[in-house]
Structure 1
Amino acid sequence: MKINVNYQQNNILSEGQIEVTVSAKQLSDDVQKLVNSISDLDNHFGVVPLSINDKVIMVPTEEIIAIEVYENELTVYTITDNYQLKGKLKTMLQRLTNDDFLQISKNAIINLNYLLSLEASFSGNMTAFLKNNLKMTVSRKYLSELKENLGM
Structure 2
Amino acid sequence: MKVTLDIDPACPQDEIVIRCAEMNDDLLKIISLANSSQRKVVGSLGRQTFLLEPGSVYYFESVDDRIFVYTEDKVYDCALRLYEIEEKFQGTNFLRVNKSTIINLAKVRALNPILNGKIEVELENGEKQIISRQYAPLLKEKLGLGR
Give the TM-score range, shorter chain.
0.7 to 0.9
Letter paired with 2:38: F
Counterpart of 2:18? 20
SS of the residue 2:58 aligns to = strand
Quick one: which amino acid aligns to residue 108 of structure 1? T
Shift of 1:80: 2.2
Answer whether contact 1:75 1:85 (CA < 8 A) is retained.
Answer: yes
Return the offset for 1:65: 0.8
Is 1:114 equivalent to 2:112 in the alignment? Answer: no
Provide the alpha-carbon RMSD of the alignment: 3.3
- Note closer, same or farther for the CA distance 1:133–1:45 as it changes in structure 2 (3 Å cut): same
1:82: which partner in 2? Answer: 75
Is the Cα–Cα contact under 8 Å of residues 119 and 131 in structure 2 kept in the other structure? Answer: yes
Shift of 1:6: 4.2
Q: What TM-score, normalized by structure 2, do the two folds share?
A: 0.72
2:55 to 45, 62, 79: 62
Q: How does 1:2-151 map to 2 (within 5 A)?
A: 5-7=1-3, 15=11, 16-24=14-22, 34=28, 38=31, 41=34, 44-96=37-89, 99-151=92-144
**Residues 71, 86 of structure 1: CA spacing in aligned structure 2 closer, same or farther, 3 A cutoff?**
farther
- Count the aligned residue pairs: 139
Q: Which runs of 5+ in 1 are unaligned?
A: none
Q: Secondary structure at the match of 1:132?
A: coil
Deviation at 1:108, TM superposition (A): 0.8
TM-score by length of 1: 0.70
The answer for unaligned runs of 5 or more in structure 2 is: none
Task: Give the aligned residue type for 2:57.
Answer: I
Q: Distance in 1 between matches of 2:45 and 2:63?
A: 17
TM-superposed CA distance for 1:130, in Å, is 1.2
Cα pair distance change 1:98/1:79, threshold 3 Å:
farther
